[in-house]
Amino acid sequence: MTMRSETSNTIFDPSTGEAENDGVEDEYKLEDLEVVTADYMQKVGISNFCNAWENMNPDSERVDEYGLGPRESLAEAVNAVINLLGMQPCEGTEVVQSNSRSHTCLLSGVFNCNVRVLVRSSFGIDGQKEVAMKLVVRSDDESISDAIHEIEASG
């Protein structure tokens, strides 16, 4: 979503509330502001991802696979997903070993101030540098698990 705004100011006499005759109307254009879903995600780290994952309702789990297209490296794909979702990498899983052909990244966050979200993303890269990803999401709200997949699908 992109927001556009213009503001207009006129000088008024504070004692009468009337616009001053010698006042000059002035306009200020504001820069466009783009609001993305990741802006609603708070990065929240957790100390034990596995424990948090197991304690979250498995009924909220949503799984899908995505082709991320050609990338220079697996690390580039991992960073792109982290940035798209706006979540906190857990347990150092944002670091991808050089020349890795596969990697799993664990992410956590709180969506819209009150919905905990956990993500397991498994990546693979082939010889042509095409990246595939399996995204598994659990949250306190099934609709948010679905929304995370919608973000990835449109990203």
The total number of structural domains in the chain stands at: 2
Q: Following DSSP, what letter does each residue of the chain receive, concatenated? A: -EE--EEEE--B-TTT-PBPTT---EEEEPPPEE--GGGGEEE---S-HHHHHHHS-GGG-EEEEEEEEE-S-HHHHHHHHHHHHT-EE-TTTT---TT-SEEEEEEEEEETTTEEEEEEEEEEE-TT-EEEEEEEEEESSHHHHHHHHHHHHH-
User: To which residue do tokens 């670091």 refer?
Assistant: 95
Residues 43, 89, single domain; the answer is yes
Any idea what the CATH number is for the domain that residue 139 is in? 3.30.310.10
User: Based on the domain organization, do 75 and 25 belong to the same domain?
Assistant: no
pLDDT at 121: 98
How much is the average pLDDT of 51-67?
96
Residue 75 identity: A
At 54, list the tokens. Answer: 């197991």
Confidence tier at 5 by pLDDT (50, 70, 90): low
- Interval 14-41 mean pLDDT: 75
15-19, 71-75, 78-82 — which is least confidently predicted? 15-19
Q: Are residues 50 and 124 in the same domain?
A: yes
pLDDT of residue 65: 97
Both 135 and 72 in a single domain?
yes
Give the whole-number percent of the chain exceeding pLDDT 90.
Answer: 68
Q: Do 66 and 27 share a structural domain?
A: no
Residues 13 and 78 in one domain: no
Q: Which pLDDT score is estimated for 6?
A: 60
Percent of the chain with pLDDT over 70: 89
The model carries a pTM of 0.79
Same domain? For 66 and 18 the reply is no
- The answer on 23 and 90 residing in a single domain is no
Q: Give the range of the structural domain holding residue 124, as residue numbers without chain letter.
A: 38-154
The pLDDT score that the predictor gives to residue 114 is 92
- Tell me which residue of 77, 146, 81 sits closest to 117, measured CA to CA: 146
Same domain, 89 and 144: yes
